Chain A
Amino acid sequence: MADAEPLIDCDVHNALADDGALGPYMPQAWRDRREALTYLPTEFRNVRENLGDRSYIGAEYPRPTPRASRVDAWPPDGGAPASDLDFTRAQLLDRWNVEYAVLNPLLGIGEMLNLELAAVMARAANDWLVDQWLDPEPRFRGSIVIPYEDAVWSAGEIDRVAADDRFVQALMLSRTIEPMGRRRYWPIYEACERNGIPLGIHNGGWGGHPMTPTGFPTFYLEDAAAMALAFQAQITSLICEGVLHRFPRLRIVLIEGGFAWLPSLMWRLDRAWEKLRVEVPHLDVPPSVLVRERFWFSTQPMEETEHPHQFGELIEDLDMSDRILFSTDYPHWDFDSPNAALPPRLDTGLRHKILHDNAAALYALPAVSPAND
């Protein structure tokens, strides 16, 4: 579709071609150990099940489609959706005239119980990203995979790879063991600031907590509809613990969490701050000021309002037009189509910002000269 307007896709989930794909990037000692541990039948041979994550099988609700992916995203030559570079290139980058796509590999590494192995695998994953994705395709950018429950190792990994400009942010998932404002995570924020990159927080994570504060729900529908809860808790924690004051250049990107709930959270936090400010005297401005200064968010899954005018009201309430980043979530089943997800009557200037300019500015992406065709 050469006529499609250029866009930057801020959330793409490339996958390992098979469970052994990180092997070549791991030290021999760990490779042997992993192989010894993968004694289960093939269908169970996935790292998290063999080596332990913080949840249990079944808490990750069955998705409506295999691998939570678009049914048409399976490469014809086999392999998982978005594990094949050429097919991903054709179905995503070429099809939608994508100028840059940010790869957020969801490999379960941050959630593993074995932190030493998680550190080794995060390192392997970043080397795999460079070797298999960033080197062969200049339109890809990467998020740094970190074993975020060990912040010191995570900071070391950020320092190791962030000099490569193609890594545009470090990646955490929204459900961590403790709220993100707590001291244990500070080295990560310090490293992001030191290297001049934002921190991305993507929906998900098996930090050991259920999706809701009332326990594990029954259905995936409940899980899918509850994504805002963890994001709200993390924003609140990061602000109240003073993280944004301690790290004044830290920028945070909320990925796949929705945003229609954000105005009401800002209203609630501001009113609470007016009454309870003495508890958090380091907060010298209302929380909404910090949200608008320091946070960005991706669009998918788009908030599809009941009436079109409500989307306009939402944009007005947010007052964050420079902070909205378009994302497809390719290849996942709740993919947002670039030509259909945004409301058709959206102001052209704002549309262009959301689809392109906001992400280009945030991630400092080099301008691409128009193709000669």
Chain B
Amino acid sequence: MTKHVLCAARELAVGEHRVFDVDGRSIGVYNVGGEFLAIRNRCPHQGGPLCEGVQVGALISEEPGTYIYDRPGEVVRCPWHAWEFDLRTGTSWFDPEHQRVKFYEVQVLTGEDVAGLMPPRPGMLPGPYRAEIVPVSVEDAYLVIDVGHIPKG
């Protein structure tokens, strides 16, 4: 199984981010204007804790002397050497082809969908005792991440 439930969507407000341990991988999940974006919390440069860096916009210039602050909140700057990464693609600003950080898709699923992601544990059989069943309605939305089959490291 590669899908993991992270938290209720309302626990991560717009502008916030949080680092999760997902199956041994440290992953930062960001709420950028209501969209959820996730990247690996490890800079490919020297291994700095990328998601402890500041979240900024993309500062670009069409010619010397002009400054455009674009896409606020969509760039993360490593806390060690200030390498910048695009939260949407995981690519670095200065060498998007070769220097990139793993990024992940984050889905927003209902409680019912999330419950469907949890298979019964193998080897468990229905026992002879029955507890009283209390109906619970699941109305919240949850953040679910798919970490695929990449090796840990």
Contacts and interface: CB of A to CB of B under 8 A. Distances in A.
A335 B47 contact: no
Nearest to B53: A71
A70 B79 contact: yes
A84 B53 CA distance: 21
Given A337-B46, A340-B45, A341-B46, A71 B54 contact: yes
Interface in B41-83: 45-49, 52-54, 77, 79-82
B79 A71 contact: yes
A28 interface: no
Nearest to A340: B46
A335 B43 CA distance: 13
B49 A333 contact: no
B99 to A, nearest CB: 12
Contacts of B49: 72
Given A64-B82, A65-B82, A71-B79, A340 B47 contact: yes
A339 to B, nearest CB: 7
Nearest to A332: B80
A60 interface: no
Contacts of B53: 71
Interface in A300-341: 333-337, 339-341
A337 B79 contact: no
B46 A333 contact: no
Nearest to A341: B46
A333 B47 contact: no
Contacts of A65: 79, 82
B64 to A, nearest CB: 12
Nearest to A336: B46
Contacts of A334: 80-81
Interface in A332-360: 333-337, 339-341
Contacts of A335: 80-81
A interface, over-half SS: loop
Interface residues of A, number: 13
Contacts of B54: 71
A70 B47 CA distance: 13
A70 B80 contact: yes
Nearest to B44: A340
B35 to A, nearest CB: 24
B52 A339 contact: no
A337 B48 contact: yes
Contacts of B77: 64
B48 A333 contact: no
Contacts of A64: 77, 82
Interface string A48-83: 000000000000000011000011100000000000
A333 B45 contact: no
Contacts of B79: 65, 70-72
Contacts of A337: 46-48, 80
B47 A339 contact: yes
Contact of B52 (A71, A336, A341): A71
A72 to B, nearest CB: 5
A309 to B, nearest CB: 17
Contact of B81 (A72, A333, A339): A333
A334 B52 CA distance: 15
Interface string B29-48: 00000000000000001111
B84 to A, nearest CB: 11
Contacts of B46: 336-337, 340-341
Given A64-B82, A65-B82, A72 B47 contact: no
A247 to B, nearest CB: 38
A339 B47 CA distance: 9
Contacts of B52: 71-72
30 contacts: A64-B77, A64-B82, A65-B79, A65-B82, A70-B48, A70-B79, A70-B80, A71-B52, A71-B53, A71-B54, A71-B79, A72-B48, A72-B49, A72-B52, A72-B79, A72-B80, A333-B80, A334-B80, A334-B81, A335-B80, A336-B46, A337-B46, A337-B47, A337-B48, A337-B80, A339-B47, A340-B45, A340-B46, A340-B47, A341-B46
Given A72-B80, A334-B81, A341-B46, 11 more contacts: A64-B77, A65-B79, A70-B48, A70-B80, A71-B54, A333-B81, A333-B82, A337-B47, A337-B48, A340-B46, A340-B47
Interface of A: 64-65, 70-72, 333-337, 339-341
